[in-house]
Structure 1
């Protein structure tokens, strides 16, 4: 008996932005009945156009600075050539199977990376790298890791 390959509805056509946008859209629909004061989303987040870039109260920074903050929080080796790069290496660092890491990376992109005020000017590759590192942080430290990242980024003000 031949098994059919299961397609994940999250991945769509493989376009990282569209996948993360569908996650953001789904999460926004869940929160439509929520009082905006309780949502944690800063005023103007929806008016920003594509729905990203205003949700985190952190200063503007380039993607490398955000990745550097995550690397420091994880205690990963720093410096060019010393830290893991690429999805396969980061998935291995997370300890998750590749499919689960890809799902967590989409959530990290939708809920953390694309909410950074500088995200709209980052390249797709920069957002992918930042999302991958944030996914490792979430896997290792959960919500506390995201809170620590926001605190670390705020210190640069």
Structure 2
């Protein structure tokens, strides 16, 4: 399906599980099914990459990032729509092994492509990051988890609050 023919999707949900021992997941809930994209912390700083997606959506900028697994992984792609600027095309490609890590320049197998409101995409992902940010204040939640870009998150939240997509609901 061409990006021009994609209908607005106000139902698909995105979740981020910032797991222990370097493992995280991007989880997509769509039409009663779940897609799970595993991410290895050895190759990918998961929170930082999700922040990059949020930043690109706020700025309405194109982006490709790799979420590496062992082996393979996935590539997230954002494509701005210059005629419907309140929306963006969000796509996920699976990259199979034997690559040790996904390569953001590879297309791979397209598994999801949706037109989503930029404001909604930012809200879904920033809420997930904010939950991590808050939970990491608890020592028991910190155990087995690597560093988190707290300052980058709060700075991006301020930028979101001041942007045309704001105000942020995260305070």
TM-score, scaled relative to structure 1: 0.25
Relative contact order, CA 8 A, sep 6+: which one is greater?
1
Higher strand content, 1 or 2: 2
TM-score, scaled relative to structure 2: 0.24
Higher helix content, 1 or 2: 1
